[in-house]
Structure 1
Amino acid sequence: MKIIDLRSDTVTHPTPDMRKAMADAEVGDDVFRDDPTTIRLEQKAAELLGMEAALFVSSGTQGNLVALLSHVQRGGEVLLGDKSHIYLNEGGGASALGGIGYNVVNNDSRGMIFPEQILDAIKTVDVHHSRSSLVALENTHNVCGGLPLSAADIDSVGEVAHKNNMPLHIDGARIFNAATALETSVSDLVSAADSVTFCLSKGLSCPIGSILCGPRDFIEEARHWRKMLGSGMRQVGIIAAAGIVALDTMIERLSEDHENARNLALGLANIPGISIQPDLVQTNLVFFEIKGVDPVRLKDRINENGVLGGNIIPRWRFATHYGINDEDIEKTLEVMRIAMKVEQEAL
């Protein structure tokens, strides 16, 4: 039985082209800046995002952490959303390791934080206050449904941040999904940002890694922090080679994941007991609610029938990716339909 794994787009396996590139990768010691493959990946990523330089990091969490450590002095604070990944799901690293405070404002339903919220949250210059030093956005926003923020959204936040002497960082773990959904280039989408992280190991299907992009001097500072965190890697070109293949071949196909997600959402909407708004499924993340049955029992039942899903409380999440095709979508809907019926009849 094939396992249809919809828990996350992080479960993707490297493509055959990636595996070959990894096997054939030209390598050196990247701490000495002698790894040509890693250098090529970083240059390609920076050019793609319209930025001066880039840094390969082990994960999106590490990319965000070294970005915050590079932007904000100890005792300063970052303004960010209450549902952001940096705030909720990165272990409080900026606080624990950098003495950085979190100044939290409410995300709206799309994951946006607005200029007026930022203005209200900025601390006045006073010896009693920490310094408001950075604004962070997330695009697409995981907890808020995988919806993309537009270039106009980002520009409006960047404008108010810069007017108040704060850089703008974007947690762009799925920034290529956002650009695909908006039918724009990623460089145009992030043009107002001072730094951006994006994941190679989600929809782009690499086995490991993320990229941090920004100005050259900022990236050199981030390189220092990366080394301090124990991630100065040696012959890392073996991993970076997959990233080059991903940037060359995996971005354009993200629209397939989005189409599969829309079809999944439309099918789920026709199953009694499932509450979903298909029009809010705009990228590869499908959020929905289950009513009238025990969610844990339901999850166990679909797992037994070869479908693995993500969080179930308070909402379920399915993530489409390179490893999911249209037949898998049909099978998932069949399994969900039968499982819901069985659980409803058991009440």
Structure 2
Amino acid sequence: MKSRVIDLRSDTVSQPTDEMRQAMFHAEVGDDVYGDDPTVQKLEILAASMIGKEAALFVPSGTFGNQLALFTHCDRGTEVILGEDCHIFEHEVGAASIIAGVHLRTLQTVSGKMDLQKIKQSIRPEDLHFPETSLICLENAYSNGGVVDIDYMQEVYCIAKEKNIPIHLDGARVFNAATYLRTDVKEITQYSDSVMFCLSKGLCAPVGSILAGSTEFIEKAKKKRKLLGGGWRQSGFLAAAGIIALVKMTTRLHEDHENALYLANELKEIPGIKVDSTNNHINLVFFQIEKTNRTPEEIEQIFKENDITIFAPDENGNMRFATHYWVTKEDIDKVIMLMQSILIDE
């Protein structure tokens, strides 16, 4: 019998629950390009309601949703203000330059926050030589594991509204952010004109994200989704899992956060490991192996031989572990014992 594998690479590896698989099997479907899929419609209505927006659109991925937002909000040749280390800039293959044809003006961040004065100064005045500022992008939770406070989001939103500039929120893990802040997710998303969030990051849906905003925005985005090849056919099979993700999986994210905190605290006790506690807000644990005689490839292989899948440390010994529905406290104990054996017994 094949051993169960513990996968700590990301919460994107979380697989559908048995309930999701049954719902997908029995889903009522139609052609979504024609607007005929009742399960997709149910998902989109539910998502819009939960996130506090007028309408929502089911899209293939988080990157697709973010880039569709830029493509919908912005005219070609305009400028988008965003953090220098945010996901849209760092991890989406430079897509904004190809799809939306926009210029990205990046600002330094501290714990996921751009300086408010720098944002004001970066909004372009009317001038023949400057591009028009068409959008400001925020991220919450941040991909470094930190959560941005609601007061900051409100302040940025007010700056944007004074200049009639929309805000897009990359909320891939926005339900994690709401869980950390112990608030309803709408308290976060109210300070954005559009928001993208993932159904497959920690919520166990197999595929898909949601882009939400005003009815007018979503109608415009729907046509651009089709242009990008994102028109679904019988996508209700996937939407059925997304409904369960929203109804049930969003309510248990505190368990993943508690496990991540437990993992971080246990790693701190191992000599030679330095844990980044500043952004240990959600289900991501960042740490550094300060000294070891083993190569990154050797460390990855040892974990693999013990049925644990990880990303190898980088050249500086930096690592990230992610907790999710399929990682238990007992799994974490196994991970800690193995890490101890690697660093203490070498």
**Pairwise TM-score range, normalised by the shorter structure:** over 0.9
Contact 2:299–2:312 (CA<8 Å) still a contact in 1? no
- Flag the 1:14–1:332 CA change in 2: closer, same or farther, 3 A: same
| Cα deviation 1:219-242 (Å, max 9, x = unaligned) | 011111100000101110000000
Letter in 2 for 1:153: Y
Contact 1:58–1:210 (CA<8 Å) still a contact in 2? yes
Letter in 2 for 1:113: M
274-283 or 242-251, larger mean C-alpha shift: 274-283
CA distance in structure 1 between the aligned counterparts of 2:299 and 2:31, rounded to whole angstroms: 49
Q: Which residue of 2 aligns with 1:253?
A: 252
- Match status 1:112 vs 2:113: yes
1:70 to 69, 72, 85: 72
1:321 to 306, 313, 324: 324
TM-score in terms of structure 2 length: 0.96
- Flag the 1:122–1:279 CA change in 2: closer, same or farther, 3 A: closer
Contact 1:269–1:277 (CA<8 Å) still a contact in 2? no
CA distance in structure 1 between the aligned counterparts of 2:310 and 2:114, rounded to whole angstroms: 29
| Cα deviation 1:182-229 (Å, max 9, x = unaligned) | 100001111110000000001111000000000000001111110000
CA distance in structure 1 between the aligned counterparts of 2:267 and 2:146, rounded to whole angstroms: 19
Where in structure 1 are there 5+ consecutive unaligned residues?
none
| Cα deviation 1:78-128 (Å, max 9, x = unaligned) | 1001101100111111211221110010121x2111321211212221111
Give aligned pairs, total. 340
TM-fit CA distance, 1:260: 0.4
- Match status 1:215 vs 2:218: no
2:26 to 14, 21, 24: 24
Letter in 2 for 1:59: S
CA distance in structure 2 between the aligned counterparts of 1:279 and 1:263, rounded to whole angstroms: 15
Structure 1 segment 43-82 matched on structure 2, within 5 A: 43-82=45-84
CA distance in structure 1 between the aligned counterparts of 2:234 and 2:179, rounded to whole angstroms: 32
Q: Which residue of 1 aligns with 2:154?
A: 155
Q: Which residue of 2 aligns with 1:3?
A: 5
Structure 1 segment 82-161 matched on structure 2, within 5 A: 82-108=84-110, 110-142=111-143, 145-161=144-160
TM-fit CA distance, 1:312: 2.4
TM-fit CA distance, 1:53: 0.2
Considering only aligned residues, what root-mean-square deviation do their CA atoms show, in Å? 1.2
Contact 1:269–1:278 (CA<8 Å) still a contact in 2? no
Q: Which residue of 2 aligns with 1:33?
A: 35
Structure 1 counterpart SS, 2:113: coil
Structure 1 counterpart SS, 2:99: helix
- Flag the 1:279–1:120 CA change in 2: closer, same or farther, 3 A: closer
| Cα deviation 1:235-258 (Å, max 9, x = unaligned) | 100000001111111011100000
TM-fit CA distance, 1:299: 2.6
2:336 to 305, 327, 333: 333
Letter in 2 for 1:321: H
CA distance in structure 1 between the aligned counterparts of 2:87 and 2:276, rounded to whole angstroms: 23
Structure 1 counterpart SS, 2:109: coil
CA distance in structure 2 between the aligned counterparts of 1:98 and 1:135, rounded to whole angstroms: 14
299-308 or 230-239, larger mean C-alpha shift: 299-308
Letter in 2 for 1:126: D
TM-score in terms of structure 1 length: 0.95
CA distance in structure 2 between the aligned counterparts of 1:325 and 1:23, rounded to whole angstroms: 27
286-295 or 43-52, larger mean C-alpha shift: 286-295
Structure 2 counterpart SS, 1:165: coil
Where in structure 2 are there 5+ consecutive unaligned residues?
none
Structure 1 segment 149-298 matched on structure 2, within 5 A: 149-278=148-277, 280-293=279-292, 294-298=295-299
CA distance in structure 1 between the aligned counterparts of 2:279 and 2:85, rounded to whole angstroms: 18
Structure 2 counterpart SS, 1:267: helix
- Flag the 1:34–1:10 CA change in 2: closer, same or farther, 3 A: same
CA distance in structure 2 between the aligned counterparts of 1:195 and 1:300, rounded to whole angstroms: 42
Letter in 1 for 2:260: A
Runs of 4+ in 1 over 6 A off after TM superposition: none
| Cα deviation 1:129-152 (Å, max 9, x = unaligned) | 11111000111111xx31111211
Q: Which residue of 2 aligns with 1:299?
A: 300
TM-fit CA distance, 1:311: 5.9
| Cα deviation 1:292-325 (Å, max 9, x = unaligned) | 1243432332222222223622521000001101
TM-fit CA distance, 1:279: 5.8
Letter in 2 for 1:68: L
Q: Identity, % of aligned pairs?
A: 46
CA distance in structure 2 between the aligned counterparts of 1:152 and 1:246, rounded to whole angstroms: 28
